[in-house]
Amino acid sequence: MSALSFELKRRPTQRLDLSPLVPSRLDGLNRKKIEALSVSTTRETITVGDVFKVKGKDAQCLHFAGTDDRCDKIGARLTGGEIVVDGDAGMLLGAQMKRGKITVHGSAGVSVGASMSGGEISVRRDVGDQVGGVAFGETFGMKGGFISIGGDAGLLVGERLRRGLIVVDGKAGDYAGGRMVAGTIVLRGGAGRYAGYGNRRGSLILADKPRHLMPTYVDSGVMEFDFLRLLETWLREQGMRIRLGGRARRLMGDMAVLGKGEMLILE
């Protein structure tokens, strides 16, 4: 059975709320009912059929083609299945998702995986601010799952991260790991200012020492970490070309708060 696909006809005149287009909502609906679903965000009503060419039948495997930065909330609250996006995505990609997999071959907007509790998100190019951050109305950021970013990320990567893993291949903006409660963030391309600000118990792993290291981190020296080798093995099994090694300089902090977090600078 072919994947249920949505091909954007033209650039929309308003931002689109694509949160209804998830397997749990589409399963059992015929094409006519799917095309009648509202995806509008203003007083002007826009349906799926107005902006997308709909093809295929398999609602457990969704395919979006030609999407742009106005296509918001793709895969939001996803509870299973797979979504592939051949194009860009707007804000709140995979926000509050619980299970499933989302792959974006282009870029994505702000709040990718905000407050997600499980599943996997992969964005091949750049993303906006607050990857794995706090969704509207939530207390914590990402609470489980895995996010991989192939390009650069904006401000506040992993803000209020509770659990889970975020890997950024490119550069991250300021306040990466800001107010982390726990979880792990790997930044392969460096970080901006105030990395690890307010970190309570999380692990921030960096390929290079930040240019603006906060004074509230205490240098504990170079150590061997078996979990870095295990993490590298697992990431390679996910298809990522990555080298973490087993040695890193450990900085404990943020001492301005609980102080049980860590920043590992790879050797």
Q: How far apart are CA 252 and CA 200, in angstroms?
A: 10
- Return the SS3 of 31: helix
- What integer pLDDT is reported at residue 51 of this predicted model? 98
Closest CA to 148 of 120, 181, 129: 120
Cβ-count burial of 76 within 10 angstroms (0-12 exposed, 13-18 middle, 19+ buried)? buried
Cβ–Cβ < 8 Å for 117, 136: no
Half-sphere exposure of 119 (CA within 13 A, CB side): 30
Consecutive 10-residue averages of pLDDT for the chain (267 residues) = 94 96 96 98 96 97 98 98 98 98 98 98 98 97 98 98 98 97 97 96 94 93 97 96 96 95 97
Q: How far apart are CA 121 and CA 99, in angstroms?
A: 10
73-266 CATH fold: Pectate Lyase C-like (2.160.20)
Which run of H or of E encompasses 249?
A: strand 247-253
- Per domain, the residue ranges of the chain are 1-67, 73-266
Cβ–Cβ < 8 Å for 104, 129: no
- What integer pLDDT is reported at residue 211 of this predicted model? 81
